[in-house]
Structure 1
Protein backbone atom coordinates (compact mmCIF):
# COMPACT_ATOMS: atom_id res chain seq x y z
CA UNK A 1 0.00 0.00 0.00
CA UNK A 2 2.67 2.49 1.03
CA UNK A 3 4.62 1.53 -2.10
CA UNK A 4 1.61 2.50 -4.26
CA UNK A 5 1.26 5.88 -2.54
CA UNK A 6 4.94 6.75 -2.76
CA UNK A 7 5.23 5.51 -6.35
CA UNK A 8 2.25 7.65 -7.34
CA UNK A 9 3.57 10.72 -5.53
CA UNK A 10 7.06 10.24 -6.94
CA UNK A 11 5.79 9.83 -10.50
CA UNK A 12 3.71 12.97 -10.25
CA UNK A 13 6.47 15.04 -8.68
CA UNK A 14 9.22 14.16 -11.18
CA UNK A 15 7.26 15.01 -14.30
CA UNK A 16 8.53 18.58 -14.20
CA UNK A 17 11.90 19.98 -15.17
CA UNK A 18 14.73 17.48 -15.18
CA UNK A 19 17.47 19.89 -14.09
CA UNK A 20 19.26 19.36 -10.77
CA UNK A 21 17.66 20.82 -7.67
CA UNK A 22 18.29 20.56 -3.96
CA UNK A 23 16.39 18.13 -1.78
CA UNK A 24 13.68 19.85 0.23
CA UNK A 25 12.18 18.35 3.37
CA UNK A 26 8.88 19.53 4.81
CA UNK A 27 8.36 18.16 8.29
CA UNK A 28 4.99 16.84 9.43
CA UNK A 29 4.60 19.55 12.10
CA UNK A 30 5.02 22.23 9.40
CA UNK A 31 1.99 20.95 7.47
CA UNK A 32 -0.89 21.86 9.74
CA UNK A 33 -4.12 20.02 9.12
CA UNK A 34 -7.59 21.47 9.55
CA UNK A 35 -11.23 20.52 9.73
CA UNK A 36 -12.69 20.63 6.22
CA UNK A 37 -14.91 23.60 5.45
CA UNK A 38 -18.67 23.22 5.70
CA UNK A 39 -18.73 24.88 2.26
CA UNK A 40 -17.12 21.78 0.69
CA UNK A 41 -17.87 18.92 3.13
CA UNK A 42 -20.90 17.53 4.97
CA UNK A 43 -20.00 16.14 8.40
CA UNK A 44 -16.52 16.08 9.90
CA UNK A 45 -13.54 15.68 7.59
CA UNK A 46 -9.92 16.33 8.59
CA UNK A 47 -7.68 17.59 5.78
CA UNK A 48 -3.87 17.56 6.00
CA UNK A 49 -1.68 18.64 3.08
CA UNK A 50 0.91 16.09 1.98
CA UNK A 51 2.86 18.61 -0.09
CA UNK A 52 2.29 22.02 -1.61
CA UNK A 53 1.55 22.36 -5.35
CA UNK A 54 5.11 23.45 -6.20
CA UNK A 55 5.82 21.09 -9.09
CA UNK A 56 3.48 21.17 -12.07
CA UNK A 57 0.67 22.40 -9.80
CA UNK A 58 0.35 18.90 -8.32
CA UNK A 59 -1.09 18.84 -4.80
CA UNK A 60 -2.01 16.09 -2.40
CA UNK A 61 -3.94 15.88 0.84
CA UNK A 62 -4.66 13.20 3.38
CA UNK A 63 -8.37 13.34 4.20
CA UNK A 64 -10.07 11.47 7.03
CA UNK A 65 -13.87 11.34 6.93
CA UNK A 66 -15.75 10.41 10.11
CA UNK A 67 -18.89 8.26 9.66
CA UNK A 68 -21.48 10.16 7.63
CA UNK A 69 -18.97 12.71 6.29
CA UNK A 70 -18.49 13.28 2.57
CA UNK A 71 -17.28 15.83 0.06
CA UNK A 72 -19.60 17.99 -1.98
CA UNK A 73 -20.09 17.15 -5.63
CA UNK A 74 -17.01 18.35 -7.49
CA UNK A 75 -14.83 17.98 -10.58
CA UNK A 76 -11.10 18.18 -11.31
CA UNK A 77 -9.78 19.70 -14.55
CA UNK A 78 -6.87 17.21 -14.71
CA UNK A 79 -8.53 14.35 -12.84
CA UNK A 80 -7.91 13.04 -9.33
CA UNK A 81 -6.30 9.92 -7.87
CA UNK A 82 -7.61 8.62 -4.53
CA UNK A 83 -5.45 6.13 -2.64
CA UNK A 84 -7.55 4.58 0.13
CA UNK A 85 -5.38 3.92 3.21
CA UNK A 86 -7.82 3.13 6.03
CA UNK A 87 -11.46 2.19 6.49
CA UNK A 88 -14.38 1.82 4.14
CA UNK A 89 -16.24 4.52 2.25
CA UNK A 90 -18.31 5.36 -0.78
CA UNK A 91 -17.75 7.25 -3.99
CA UNK A 92 -20.23 8.12 -6.70
CA UNK A 93 -20.11 9.60 -10.15
CA UNK A 94 -23.16 11.73 -10.95
CA UNK A 95 -25.82 9.56 -12.63
CA UNK A 96 -24.18 6.27 -11.61
CA UNK A 97 -24.61 3.95 -8.61
CA UNK A 98 -22.65 4.57 -5.44
CA UNK A 99 -19.58 2.30 -5.10
CA UNK A 100 -17.80 0.89 -2.04
CA UNK A 101 -14.13 1.82 -1.60
CA UNK A 102 -11.83 0.39 1.06
CA UNK A 103 -8.23 0.32 2.27
CA UNK A 104 -5.95 -0.79 -0.56
CA UNK A 105 -8.17 0.53 -3.36
CA UNK A 106 -7.04 3.19 -5.83
CA UNK A 107 -9.70 5.31 -7.53
CA UNK A 108 -9.16 7.38 -10.69
CA UNK A 109 -11.64 10.22 -11.24
CA UNK A 110 -11.21 11.41 -14.86
CA UNK A 111 -11.03 15.12 -15.73
CA UNK A 112 -14.37 16.90 -15.60
CA UNK A 113 -16.32 13.96 -14.13
CA UNK A 114 -18.62 15.15 -11.33
CA UNK A 115 -18.31 12.93 -8.26
CA UNK A 116 -18.13 12.80 -4.48
CA UNK A 117 -16.36 10.56 -1.95
CA UNK A 118 -16.43 10.01 1.79
CA UNK A 119 -17.12 7.65 4.67
CA UNK A 120 -20.08 5.30 4.90
CA UNK A 121 -22.80 6.11 7.39
CA UNK A 122 -21.20 3.72 9.93
CA UNK A 123 -17.46 3.64 9.13
CA UNK A 124 -14.65 6.16 8.74
CA UNK A 125 -12.42 6.50 5.67
CA UNK A 126 -8.94 7.92 5.08
CA UNK A 127 -7.45 8.53 1.66
CA UNK A 128 -4.76 10.46 -0.12
CA UNK A 129 -6.25 12.77 -2.76
CA UNK A 130 -3.75 13.67 -5.50
CA UNK A 131 -4.60 16.13 -8.25
CA UNK A 132 -2.97 18.56 -10.66
CA UNK A 133 -4.17 22.07 -11.28
CA UNK A 134 -5.00 23.65 -14.60
CA UNK A 135 -4.59 27.42 -14.78
CA UNK A 136 -4.13 27.46 -11.01
CA UNK A 137 -7.27 25.49 -10.13
CA UNK A 138 -7.33 21.82 -9.07
CA UNK A 139 -11.02 21.51 -8.18
CA UNK A 140 -14.38 23.06 -9.00
CA UNK A 141 -16.81 22.62 -6.11
CA UNK A 142 -20.50 21.99 -6.58
CA UNK A 143 -23.31 21.66 -4.08
CA UNK A 144 -23.67 19.30 -1.14
CA UNK A 145 -24.57 15.64 -1.58
CA UNK A 146 -28.05 15.37 -0.06
CA UNK A 147 -28.76 12.73 2.57
CA UNK A 148 -31.07 11.00 0.06
CA UNK A 149 -28.30 10.88 -2.59
CA UNK A 150 -25.73 9.77 -0.01
CA UNK A 151 -27.83 6.88 1.34
CA UNK A 152 -29.24 5.70 -2.01
CA UNK A 153 -27.78 2.35 -3.13
Structure 2
Protein backbone atom coordinates (compact mmCIF):
# COMPACT_ATOMS: atom_id res chain seq x y z
CA UNK A 1 0.00 0.00 0.00
CA UNK A 2 1.31 3.47 -0.89
CA UNK A 3 1.98 5.74 2.10
CA UNK A 4 0.36 9.19 1.83
CA UNK A 5 2.83 12.07 1.94
CA UNK A 6 1.47 14.75 4.30
CA UNK A 7 3.97 17.27 2.98
CA UNK A 8 1.74 17.78 -0.07
CA UNK A 9 -1.31 18.49 2.13
CA UNK A 10 0.72 20.96 4.19
CA UNK A 11 2.10 22.62 1.04
CA UNK A 12 -1.44 22.93 -0.37
CA UNK A 13 -2.71 24.52 2.84
CA UNK A 14 0.21 26.96 3.01
CA UNK A 15 -0.41 28.03 -0.59
CA UNK A 16 -4.11 28.40 0.24
CA UNK A 17 -3.32 30.56 3.28
CA UNK A 18 -0.93 32.78 1.32
CA UNK A 19 -3.61 33.31 -1.31
CA UNK A 20 -6.18 34.17 1.36
CA UNK A 21 -3.84 36.72 2.95
CA UNK A 22 -2.92 38.60 -0.22
CA UNK A 23 -4.36 42.11 -0.14
CA UNK A 24 -5.37 44.06 -3.21
CA UNK A 25 -3.95 47.59 -3.45
CA UNK A 26 -6.74 50.07 -4.03
CA UNK A 27 -7.51 53.74 -3.44
CA UNK A 28 -11.07 52.91 -2.42
CA UNK A 29 -12.18 52.96 1.21
CA UNK A 30 -11.48 49.55 2.65
CA UNK A 31 -14.37 47.36 3.70
CA UNK A 32 -14.32 44.40 6.06
CA UNK A 33 -12.61 41.39 4.49
CA UNK A 34 -14.62 38.21 4.45
CA UNK A 35 -13.12 34.75 4.56
CA UNK A 36 -13.36 32.76 1.32
CA UNK A 37 -14.68 29.78 3.29
CA UNK A 38 -18.33 29.21 4.13
CA UNK A 39 -19.22 29.52 7.80
CA UNK A 40 -20.94 26.14 7.78
CA UNK A 41 -23.45 24.88 10.31
CA UNK A 42 -23.70 25.80 13.96
CA UNK A 43 -22.29 23.03 16.17
CA UNK A 44 -24.48 21.63 18.92
CA UNK A 45 -21.89 19.65 20.89
CA UNK A 46 -20.88 19.33 24.54
CA UNK A 47 -17.23 19.54 23.34
CA UNK A 48 -17.52 23.30 22.72
CA UNK A 49 -18.41 26.33 24.85
CA UNK A 50 -20.26 29.18 23.16
CA UNK A 51 -21.40 29.55 19.57
CA UNK A 52 -19.29 27.70 16.99
CA UNK A 53 -19.81 26.91 13.30
CA UNK A 54 -18.16 24.12 11.29
CA UNK A 55 -17.68 23.71 7.55
CA UNK A 56 -16.07 20.30 6.91
CA UNK A 57 -13.98 20.38 3.74
CA UNK A 58 -12.68 17.65 1.45
CA UNK A 59 -10.63 14.64 2.51
CA UNK A 60 -13.45 12.18 1.95
CA UNK A 61 -10.96 9.59 0.69
CA UNK A 62 -10.12 7.50 3.77
CA UNK A 63 -6.66 6.63 2.40
CA UNK A 64 -5.52 10.22 3.01
CA UNK A 65 -5.71 9.78 6.82
CA UNK A 66 -6.57 13.41 7.30
CA UNK A 67 -9.67 15.51 7.79
CA UNK A 68 -10.05 19.27 7.77
CA UNK A 69 -12.65 21.91 8.21
CA UNK A 70 -13.12 25.64 8.65
CA UNK A 71 -14.20 26.44 12.21
CA UNK A 72 -15.63 29.82 13.23
CA UNK A 73 -15.94 30.85 16.88
CA UNK A 74 -18.06 33.71 18.25
CA UNK A 75 -16.36 35.84 20.94
CA UNK A 76 -15.41 33.73 24.03
CA UNK A 77 -16.35 30.47 22.23
CA UNK A 78 -13.83 27.65 22.49
CA UNK A 79 -13.17 23.95 22.31
CA UNK A 80 -12.91 21.72 25.34
CA UNK A 81 -9.53 20.39 26.37
CA UNK A 82 -8.69 17.65 23.88
CA UNK A 83 -5.89 15.90 22.01
CA UNK A 84 -5.37 14.24 18.63
CA UNK A 85 -3.52 10.89 18.43
CA UNK A 86 -2.16 11.88 15.01
CA UNK A 87 -1.53 15.58 15.68
CA UNK A 88 -3.27 18.68 14.36
CA UNK A 89 -2.54 21.83 12.35
CA UNK A 90 -4.41 25.13 12.73
CA UNK A 91 -4.31 27.88 10.06
CA UNK A 92 -5.93 31.12 11.24
CA UNK A 93 -8.11 32.74 8.57
CA UNK A 94 -9.87 35.54 10.49
CA UNK A 95 -10.09 37.34 13.79
CA UNK A 96 -8.24 36.92 17.04
CA UNK A 97 -8.11 33.89 19.31
CA UNK A 98 -5.96 31.63 21.45
CA UNK A 99 -4.27 28.25 21.48
CA UNK A 100 -3.10 26.72 24.74
CA UNK A 101 -1.34 23.44 25.44
CA UNK A 102 -1.95 22.06 28.94
CA UNK A 103 0.60 23.48 31.38
CA UNK A 104 1.77 26.20 28.96
CA UNK A 105 0.76 29.86 28.59
CA UNK A 106 -1.92 30.63 26.01
CA UNK A 107 -0.68 31.85 22.63
CA UNK A 108 -2.47 34.78 20.96
CA UNK A 109 -3.38 33.96 17.34
CA UNK A 110 -4.26 36.33 14.49
CA UNK A 111 -5.02 35.98 10.79
CA UNK A 112 -2.12 34.31 9.00
CA UNK A 113 -0.77 32.51 12.09
CA UNK A 114 -0.52 28.74 12.25
CA UNK A 115 -0.01 26.16 14.99
CA UNK A 116 1.58 22.70 14.70
CA UNK A 117 0.25 20.47 17.49
CA UNK A 118 2.16 17.21 18.03
CA UNK A 119 0.28 13.94 18.62
CA UNK A 120 -1.43 13.54 22.01
CA UNK A 121 -0.79 17.10 23.24
CA UNK A 122 -3.76 18.17 25.38
CA UNK A 123 -4.90 21.65 24.29
CA UNK A 124 -7.78 24.00 23.51
CA UNK A 125 -8.34 26.78 20.98
CA UNK A 126 -10.97 29.45 20.57
CA UNK A 127 -11.90 33.11 20.20
CA UNK A 128 -10.77 36.12 22.16
CA UNK A 129 -13.42 37.70 24.37
CA UNK A 130 -13.93 40.65 22.00
CA UNK A 131 -13.48 39.06 18.58
CA UNK A 132 -14.72 36.37 16.24
CA UNK A 133 -12.05 33.82 15.34
CA UNK A 134 -11.80 31.36 12.45
CA UNK A 135 -9.27 28.73 11.43
CA UNK A 136 -8.82 25.70 9.26
CA UNK A 137 -8.28 22.73 11.56
CA UNK A 138 -6.44 19.77 10.02
CA UNK A 139 -6.46 16.45 11.88
CA UNK A 140 -3.48 14.36 10.76
CA UNK A 141 -2.93 10.60 10.77
CA UNK A 142 -6.60 9.96 11.52
CA UNK A 143 -5.94 6.24 11.17
CA UNK A 144 -4.54 6.57 14.72
CA UNK A 145 -7.95 7.73 15.98
CA UNK A 146 -10.08 10.83 16.29
CA UNK A 147 -10.04 13.63 18.83
CA UNK A 148 -9.93 12.59 22.48
CA UNK A 149 -12.19 14.99 24.40
CA UNK A 150 -11.24 15.56 28.04
CA UNK A 151 -13.41 18.28 29.56
CA UNK A 152 -14.44 21.91 29.41
CA UNK A 153 -12.08 24.86 29.66
CA UNK A 154 -13.72 26.56 32.62
CA UNK A 155 -14.56 30.26 32.52
CA UNK A 156 -11.87 30.78 35.18
CA UNK A 157 -9.24 28.92 33.09
CA UNK A 158 -10.29 30.86 29.98
CA UNK A 159 -10.12 34.27 31.71
CA UNK A 160 -6.75 33.46 33.31
CA UNK A 161 -5.30 32.18 30.02
CA UNK A 162 -6.47 35.08 27.89
CA UNK A 163 -5.22 37.93 30.13
CA UNK A 164 -2.51 39.31 27.86
Q: TM-score band, normalised by the shorter chain? A: 0.7 to 0.9
Partner in structure 1 of residue 40 of structure 2: 33
How well do the aligned residues superpose, as a CA RMSD in angstroms? 2.3
Q: What's the CA shift for 1:80?
A: 0.3
TM-score using structure 1 length: 0.76
Partner in structure 1 of residue 120 of structure 2: 112
Q: Is the 8 A contact 2:39 2:72 kept in 1?
A: no
CA distance in 1, matches of 2:77, 2:148: 19
CA distance in 2, matches of 1:5, 1:85: 15
Within-5 A mapping of 1:47-66: 47-54=54-61, 55-66=63-74
Within-5 A mapping of 1:84-103: 84-103=92-111
Residue 143 (str. 1) matches residue 151 (str. 2)? yes
CA distance in 2, matches of 1:40, 1:113: 17
2:12 to 7, 11, 22: 7
Contiguous gaps of at least 5 residues in structure 2: 1-8, 16-37
CA distance in 2, matches of 1:62, 1:144: 21
Q: Is the 8 A contact 1:92 1:117 kept in 2?
A: yes
Q: Is the 8 A contact 1:32 1:49 kept in 2?
A: no
Partner in structure 2 of residue 134 of structure 1: 143
CA distance in 2, matches of 1:71, 1:7: 26
TM-score using structure 2 length: 0.72
Partner in structure 1 of residue 24 of structure 2: none
Q: What's the CA shift for 1:32?
A: 9.4
CA distance in 2, matches of 1:69, 1:85: 16
